C-alpha cells in the first residue's frame, strides 16, 4: 500500500467517524427539542383550560345577574319600597290641614358598593348625625337594596350627587306636611315614614280603605279627593292657644277644651296639651335616645283618657230627677246637715246648711242636695239614666283609641250618692260634652263626629233621651248659674254664657289627692238658644285667677277666652243690653 493510498483511507475513516459523531449529537438535540415542545403544549393547554374555567364562571354569574336583577329591581321599585299618596285633609271651609310634598330618599345597592368605608366617610360630610356603624352594616349586607336616609332636602341631594359615589341613588317619595304644626295634632294625628296613618284622622282614613288601595298599588300618583273635617281651623287655633296658656299660667300638668255643635254633634275644635308637632312626631336627644317626654304629647286627654268630672255631673243628676218627675224647679231638699253613709260623711264645700231649692242646689253646688235627688231616683234608675246618656259606655266616633268609662262593678247606695256629684265614675271629657248637649238641645243625644254632618243626617240618627221640658229646665239652671253662680267667671258680655263648674280631687294611683284638683267647666251659649257646648279641663293646677285653684278660677276663664275670641267665627251674634235675672215659672 502506497503512502498516498494509506493517507486517503485514514482520511475517509476519520470523516466517517466524525460524521457518525455529528449525526449522534444532532439526534440528541432533536430529541431534546421535541420534549420541550411537548411540555410547552401541555402548559399552554393547562393555561387555556384555566382561562376557560374562569370565563365559564364569569359567564355563569353574568347570566345569573341577567336573570335575577331585573326582577329584583322591579320588586324594589314598585312594591315594598313605594310610598303611596294620601288625600289632602281640609277644614270645614276648605283650609288646608295636611298634604303630601315631594321628597327624595337615599338608598344603596350594597352589591355594587366597592369600598363601604369610603362611602360612609363621604356621606358623613353631607348627612348630619349619620350612624356610621349602622350605615356600614347596611353597605356590607350584600343585599340588593338598603335605605340609607329617608326624606332628604334638595340641598343634601345635590351635595351627595357631587360626591359621585357608585352604588347609591335617590328615589322620589311623599312626605306628609301639616301647615298648622301642633295646632290640631290630636285631631289630625300623624303618619310614619312610609306615609301610613298611625294616629288621629290619618289612621281613620287608612281604616276607611286607603290601606287596601295602597296594598293593591292604586295610590301612586293618582290624585285623591280631599277629606273634609268638621273643625274650623280659626276656632281650633284659638282653643289650642287658650289651653296652652292656661297650662303655663296655672302651672298645671295638662289642659284641654272642646267646642261642640249641639244640633249636629260636629266637633268644631278640640285641643289637649301637652301636644306635639305631627311634622316631627318623635324627637331624638343629643345622646341618640328618643325623647320620651316629648312623646307624652301624643296623649289626647279629651278622648283617650277618663276622669272623674266632679260637680259637672250634678247637671245630669238634676236632669235625671226632673225627667223622672221626682223633683221640679220649685222643689226643696234638705241640705241642713251632712249625710253619714257607710263610714263616709257627705258635706258641702262652703255649704248653706239649710233647705235649698233645686236652682239653689245647682247654684251653690250642693253635694248634700244632689245626693238627695239621686236617692229619690234610686240606684237602678240612676245607672240606667247615665247609660242612656252614653256616659257609661265607650263613645263611638272616628278618632281611634277612645277610652272606655269606668264605673263600680256593683252599684251600691254609697256609689250612687258619690256618682251624683261626680266621684266614682270616670268618663272622657268629650263624651261629657256630648251628654251635656242633650241637656240643652231639647233632649236629643247625637254622637260626636269630626266629619261634616248635615242637619238632616243629625236629626235622623238623634235619640230622644230627655223630655223637651227637662231640657228647658236645664237651660234655665245653666243660664241662672252663669249669671248668679260660679258660671260668672266664664261670662262674656253679649254671648249669654251658662254653665257648671266641676272641682274634683285628683285620683293618683287609685287614691284621692288632698292637694291636687282636676277642674272642669261645662258651658253652653248663647243660653236663649244654645248652639254650642264648650268644655274645658285643667289638670292639677297649682294656682289660678286670684290665687284660687278651683274650677271657677282655672277652667272657667279658659271658656271665657275661647268664647270671647271665637264667638263671632261660630256665627253667634252678640246681643248687648241689661241682663235680666232668669225668670222661674212656678208649677201649680
Q: Which residues carry out catalysis? A: 311
Q: What are phi and psi of 307, to 5 degrees?
A: -140, 155
Closest CA to 357 of 325, 377, 386, 332: 332
- What is the Cα–Cα distance from 91 to 97, expressed in whole angstroms? 7
Closest CA to 231 of 264, 280, 192, 193: 264
The helix-helix angle for 314-323 and 468-484 (nearest 10°) equals 140
Pairing type for strands 96-108 and 168-177 reads antiparallel
383: which 3 cell numbers?
Answer: 245607672
Count other Cβ atoms within 10 Å, centred on residue 12.
Answer: 10
SS percent in the chain: helix, strand, coil, step 5? 45, 20, 35
Q: What are phi and psi of 312, to 5 degrees?
A: -60, -25
Distance between alpha carbon 133 and the CA centroid of its chain, in Å? 31
Distance between alpha carbon 279 and the CA centroid of its chain, in Å? 11
At which residue does the C-alpha cell 263624651 appear? 431
- What is the Cα–Cα distance from 461 to 445, expressed in whole angstroms? 9
**What is the maximum alpha-carbon separation in the chain?**
190
- What is the Cα–Cα distance from 90 to 230, expressed in whole angstroms? 9
Decide: 188 and 200 in contact? Cβ < 8 Å: yes
DSSP one-letter string for 142-173? --S-EEEEEEE-HHHHHHHHHH--TTEEEEEE
3 state SS for 456-476: HHHHHHCEECCCHHHHHHHHH
Amino acid at each position: 500500500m502506497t503512502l498516498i493510498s494509506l493517507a486517503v483511507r485514514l482520511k475517509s475513516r476519520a470523516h466517517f467517524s466524525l460524521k457518525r459523531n455529528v449525526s449522534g449529537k444532532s439526534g440528541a438535540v432533536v430529541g431534546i427539542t421535541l420534549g420541550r415542545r411537548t411540555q410547552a403544549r401541555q402548559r399552554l393547554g393547562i393555561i387555556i383550560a384555566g382561562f376557560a374555567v374562569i370565563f365559564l364562571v364569569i359567564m355563569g354569574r353574568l347570566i345569573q345577574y341577567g336573570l335575577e336583577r331585573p326582577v329584583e329591581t322591579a320588586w324594589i321599585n314598585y312594591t315594598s319600597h313605594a310610598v303611596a299618596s294620601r288625600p289632602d285633609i281640609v277644614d270645614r271651609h276648605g283650609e288646608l290641614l295636611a298634604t303630601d310634598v315631594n321628597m327624595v330618599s337615599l338608598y344603596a345597592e350594597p352589591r355594587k358598593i366597592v369600598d363601604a368605608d369610603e362611602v360612609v366617610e363621604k356621606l358623613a360630610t353631607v348627612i348630619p348625625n349619620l350612624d356610621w356603624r349602622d350605615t356600614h352594616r347596611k353597605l356590607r349586607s350584600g343585599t340588593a337594596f338598603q335605605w340609607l336616609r329617608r326624606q332628604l332636602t334638595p340641598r343634601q341631594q345635590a351635595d351627595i350627587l357631587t360626591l359621585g359615589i357608585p352604588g347609591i341613588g335617590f328615589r322620589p317619595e311623599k312626605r306628609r306636611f301639616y301647615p298648622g304644626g301642633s295646632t290640631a295634632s290630636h285631631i289630625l294625628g300623624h303618619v310614619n315614614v312610609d306615609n301610613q296613618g298611625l294616629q288621629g284622622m290619618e289612621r281613620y282614613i287608612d281604616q276607611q280603605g286607603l290601606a287596601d288601595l295602597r296594598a293593591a298599588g292604586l295610590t301612586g300618583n293618582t290624585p285623591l279627593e280631599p277629606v273634609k273635617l268638621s273643625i274650623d281651623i280659626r276656632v281650633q287655633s284659638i282653643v289650642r292657644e287658650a289651653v296652652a296658656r292656661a297650662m303655663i299660667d296655672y302651672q298645671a300638668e295638662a289642659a284641654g277644651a272642646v267646642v261642640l255643635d249641639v244640633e249636629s254633634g260636629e266637633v268644631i275644635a278640640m285641643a289637649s296639651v301637652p301636644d306635639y308637632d305631627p311634622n316631627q312626631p318623635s324627637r331624638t336627644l343629643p345622646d341618640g335616645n328618643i325623647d320620651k317626654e316629648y312623646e307624652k304629647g301624643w296623649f289626647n286627654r279629651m278622648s283617650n283618657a277618663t276622669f272623674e268630672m266632679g260637680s259637672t255631673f250634678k247637671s245630669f243628676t238634676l236632669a235625671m230627677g226632673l225627667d223622672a218627675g221626682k223633683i221640679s224647679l220649685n222643689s226643696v231638699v234638705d241640705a241642713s246637715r251632712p249625710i253619714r253613709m257607710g263610714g263616709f260623711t257627705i258635706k258641702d264645700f262652703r255649704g248653706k246648711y239649710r233647705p235649698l231649692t233645686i236652682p239653689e242646689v245647682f247654684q251653690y253646688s250642693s253635694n248634700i242636695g244632689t245626693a238627695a235627688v239621686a236617692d229619690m231616683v234610686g240606684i237602678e234608675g240612676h245607672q240606667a239614666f247615665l247609660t242612656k246618656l252614653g256616659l257609661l259606655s265607650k263613645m263611638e266616633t272616628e278618632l281611634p283609641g277612645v277610652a272606655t268609662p269606668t264605673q263600680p262593678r256593683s252599684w251600691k247606695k254609697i256609689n250612687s250618692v258619690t256618682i251624683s256629684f261626680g266621684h266614682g265614675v270616670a268618663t272622657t271629657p268629650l263624651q261629657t260634652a256630648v251628654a251635656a248637649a242633650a241637656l240643652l238641645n231639647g233632649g236629643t243625644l247625637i254622637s260626636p263626629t269630626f266629619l261634616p254632618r248635615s242637619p238632616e243626617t243629625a236629626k235622623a240618627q238623634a235619640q230622644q233621651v230627655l223630655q223637651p221640658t227637662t231640657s228647658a229646665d236645664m237651660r234655665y239652671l245653666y243660664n241662672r248659674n252663669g249669671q248668679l253662680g260660679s258660671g260668672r267667671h266664664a261670662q262674656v258680655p253679649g254671648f249669654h254664657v251658662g254653665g257648671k263648674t266641676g272641682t274634683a280631687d285628683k285620683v293618683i294611683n287609685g287614691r284621692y289627692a288632698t292637694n291636687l284638683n282636676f277642674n272642669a267647666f261645662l258651658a253652653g251659649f248663647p243660653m236663649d238658644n244654645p248652639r254650642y257646648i264648650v268644655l274645658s279641663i285643667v289638670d292639677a293646677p297649682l294656682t289660678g285667677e286670684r290665687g284660687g285653684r278651683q274650677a271657677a278660677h282655672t277652667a272657667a276663664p279658659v271658656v271665657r277666652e275661647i268664647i270671647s275670641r271665637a264667638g263671632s267665627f261660630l256665627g253667634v251674634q252678640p246681643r248687648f243690653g241689661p241682663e235680666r235675672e232668669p225668670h222661674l215659672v212656678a208649677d201649680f
